[in-house]
Amino acid sequence: MNRVSTRSDVLQSATQAIKPVGKDPGKPQGAFGDVLKQAVTEISQLQNNADKAITSVQLGQSGNIHEAMIALEKADISFRAMMQVRNKILEAYQEVMRMQV
């Protein structure tokens, strides 16, 4: 039985793709750039998965439009979250550049 996902389910699964930093005290923490690179790679993978799902529906190979739409929403929400993080990073950078030394 297929379960219809709600927007909150999609949001929850999309946010699980981004792993929390610093939660494992025994594991050394990576550089900030490495964490961002990993997040961008994961979001790119979600977008590729959505593209493949849509293509398979268009070609009639899978016919499961629900899974394609869920993949598309995951990619969309993840991309929007990444853009918000990017905007906050740019705002912080601009604030630092405005500081007088």
Report yes or no on whether pTM surpasses 0.85. Answer: no
Q: What is the pLDDT of residue 11?
A: 53
Q: What is the pLDDT of residue 84?
A: 95
Mean pLDDT in consecutive groups of 10 residues from the start of the chain, 101 residues:
52 54 57 87 93 89 84 93 93 92 78
CA terminus-to-terminus distance, the chain: 63
Residue 11 to residue 15: CA distance in whole angstroms: 6
Closest CA to 77 of 35, 17, 36, 2: 17
Q: Are 14 and 78 in contact (CB under 8 A)?
A: yes
Q: What is the pLDDT of residue 1?
A: 41
